[in-house]
Amino acid sequence: MEQYIIYNAEHKVLICKEHKCGISPRRLDRHFRDDHQGVAMAMRKEILAYAKELPLCDPEQAPIFKEVRSVIHGLQVYDGYRCHYESCQFYTPTLGYIKRHCRDHDSEGWNSMESKFTNVKIQTWFQGNYTRYQ
């Protein structure tokens, strides 16, 4: 089973090793049924039984992207950008998004002469498609 999942006790999230993403407990069954067709049913059942015993948070409730301070083992690390605006906590792996995002602050009267964002390493509980922006 350790070849498929990692339990992160600090965040209480199950991480899929192959997809390098967090798995919502509600979607665990479907994730392995649909995205891991090579995994035998017996193994799937074992994983589900294992997950039942764990205190699990739903990663879908967590912030989308976070800056990497201490790398969460098993999750993909992305090159991304962080917004500089005051206490804004916006992260994204996409240059186009950060530019558009910073323009929104401009309309709030933000005329920073310095750069408006920096390159950072980020991680996300979610994989691949970047449709889940905050």
- Distance in Å, CB of 106 to Zn ion, minimum: 10
Q: How far is the CB of 59 from Zn ion (least distance, A)?
A: 13
Q: What is the sign, positive or negative, of the torsion defined by CA atoms of 4, 37, 60, 87?
A: positive
What DSSP designation does 53 have?
T
Using the rule CB under 5 A, which residue among 65, 78, 85, 117 binds Zn ion? 85
Position among 47, 83, 98, 122 found at the interface with Zn ion (CB under 5 A): 83
Chain positions 92 to 131 lying near Zn ion, rule: CB under 5 A, are none
The dihedrals phi and psi of 112, each to the nearest 5 degrees, come to: -75, 135
Distance CA 73, CA 36 (A): 20
**Residue 4 Cβ vs Zn ion, minimum distance, rounded to whole Å:** 8
Q: Is 54 helix (H, G, I), strand (E, B) or coil?
A: coil
List the one residue from 65, 78, 81, 90 that touches Zn ion (CB under 5 A).
90
Task: Please report where in the chains the tokens 């991480």 appear, as a residue.
Answer: 15
Distance, in Å, from the CA atom of 85 to the CA atom of 31, rounded to the nearest integer, reads 37
Residues 35-64 touching Zn ion, rule: CB under 5 A, are 35
Q: Which two tokens stand for residue 93?
A: 């792996």
Per CB under 5 A, the list member of 6, 39, 62, 88 interacting with Zn ion is: 88
Question: Minimum Å distance from CB 98 to Zn ion?
Answer: 8
- Pair of tokens at residue 102: 């910073």
Binding positions for Zn ion, rule: CB under 5 A: 16, 18-19, 35, 83, 85, 88, 90
